[in-house]
Structure 1
C-alpha cells in the first residue's frame, strides 16, 4: 500500500515510557534453527551477509562482509556489527496499545519472520540511533530514508503499535519526499 495510506492506518497515541526496562524483552534466543548453535543475533548477521563468513563451532564467524544501510558502510568484521531492532525496544514499549505478555515481547525481540524487524548495521550507527524514533533521528545515509520510513511504518503495523503525533508528522514529511514508496507487511498478531 502507498506510504501515505499506511501512515493513516497507524493508531495515534501518546507514548508511555514509565516502567520500561530492556530486559522485559528477552532477546537473542536460540533463533530459527535451534540446532545450528547460532542465536537470533548471529542468524540475522549470517542472513544479511553480502559475502558469507566462515562459521566455526559455537557459531564463531570469520571473514565475510556486510553493508550497513544506516550509514552505507561496508563492514568486514562481524564483531563490528550490531543487530538492531528496527523499531527500538523502548519505542515498542512506548507504543504498545495494551501491555504485551512476556511471550509477545520475546517474539518481537527475536522476529525473523519479517526481514524488517531486525537488521544488521554498523555498531556505530546503531549506537547513534539508540532508542530514538523517526522524529528524533534518521539514518545518516539520505538515500536510505525512503526505505527507512516504510520499514518503520510496516513494522509498527505488523506489531499493532501506535505512533505519537511527532512520529506521524515525521512520516508524512518523508512520504512527501518519497511519493512512490509502498509499505508491505504481514501482521504478527
Structure 2
C-alpha cells in the first residue's frame, strides 16, 4: 500500500515545519464548500486504483463544524469540508508518512533482562512442558521442547521449525494506523507479552503462508481454531486502536456468524 499526500503548496510547508492533525482517506468522498453536503463539491478524494491511501490536513484553528472537518483543499489554496465519520483522524502527528520498514518495529528484545528475548519468552510460555535451552555469550536460546501449533494443530519438538507470529502482523498493523506511532510504541507492539495471544509460537512454514494477510485472505487450516483466531484478531485491533478495513470485518463477521456465541459480541 502506498500513500498520496493531497496537499497544496501551503499545506506542504505546514506539514514539513510542525506536527499536524490529519485525516486518512480510505474511501472515495467529497470535499464540500461548506459544512453542508448540499453545497458545491470542491474536490473528490479517496484511494486510487492501486489502493493507495491519501491524507488531508485538518485546520487546527477551526477543526470541526456541524459534524464536518475543515481541511486544506487538495487541489489548491483554501479550505473545504469533509464529513467526520468518513475518516480516521490522527492528532499531533509529526509526519510525514513512512512506508513500512520491519526494522522500525524493533524485535526481538530482552525487556526484563532475564537472558531470554521476546521470541524465546514466547517459546517458553507456549511449550506444553519443559524446554531445552542453550546459553550463549549474550543470551539464552530455546532450542527444544514440545509445542502444539494452533494454526495447523501440529506438534513440534524443534524450535527452529517455529516462528513467533504477531497475530496481527507488523505490516498489517502498520497499514492500519501503526505507521503514525512513536518509535517506542512500535517496539512495544512488536514485543508485547501481556496478552497471551498477541504473539504465538506457530509453524514457520504456515506463518510465512499467512504473511501479512487479514482474515479476508488467510484463515488457519485448523478449522476448529478459526473462531478463536478471528476473535483474537478483532480484539487486538480494538485494543491497539488499529483500523479494521471493511474486507477484514466482513470476513470476520462471516466466520463468527457460524461460531458458538460467547455472550459478548466480538
User: TM > 0.5 between the two?
Assistant: yes
Which region of structure 1 is more displaced relative to structure 2, 171-180 or 105-114? 171-180
Looking at both structures, which has the greater relative contact order when contacts are Cα pairs under 8 Å and sequence separation is at least 6? Answer: 1
* Equivalent residue, structure 1, for 2:104: 24
Aligned equivalents of 1:106, 1:52: Cα separation in 2: 29
* TM-aligned CA distance change 1:151 to 1:76, over 3 Å: same
* Equivalent residue, structure 2, for 1:38: 116
* Equivalent residue, structure 2, for 1:108: 189
Query: Displacement, 1:184?
Result: 10
| 8 Å CA contact retained: 1:81, 1:123 | yes
Q: Secondary structure at the match of 1:43?
A: helix
Which region of structure 1 is more displaced relative to structure 2, 87-96 or 47-56? 47-56
Give 1 or 2: higher strand fraction: 2
Using structure 2 for the length normalisation, give the TM-score: 0.60
Aligned equivalents of 1:71, 1:111: Cα separation in 2: 23
Aligned pairs, how many?
171
2:148 matched to 1:67?
yes
- What are the residue-to-residue correspondences of 1:1-189 with 2, within 5 Å? 14=26, 16=53, 19-31=99-111, 33-34=112-113, 36-58=114-136, 59-96=140-177, 99-181=180-262
- Larger Rg over CA atoms: 2
Query: Displacement, 1:45?
Result: 0.6
Q: Secondary structure at the match of 1:64?
A: strand
Using structure 1 for the length normalisation, give the TM-score: 0.83
RMSD: 2.3
Give 1 or 2: higher helix fraction: 1
* TM-aligned CA distance change 1:136 to 1:183, over 3 Å: farther
Give unmatched runs, 5+ long, in structure 2.
Answer: 1-24, 27-51, 54-96
Return structure 1 stretches of 4+ with deviation > 3 angstroms. Answer: 13-18, 181-185
Aligned equivalents of 1:27, 1:39: Cα separation in 2: 9
Q: Secondary structure at the match of 1:23?
A: helix
| 1:48-78 deviation digits (Å, cap 9, x = unpaired) | 0012212231323343100001111100001
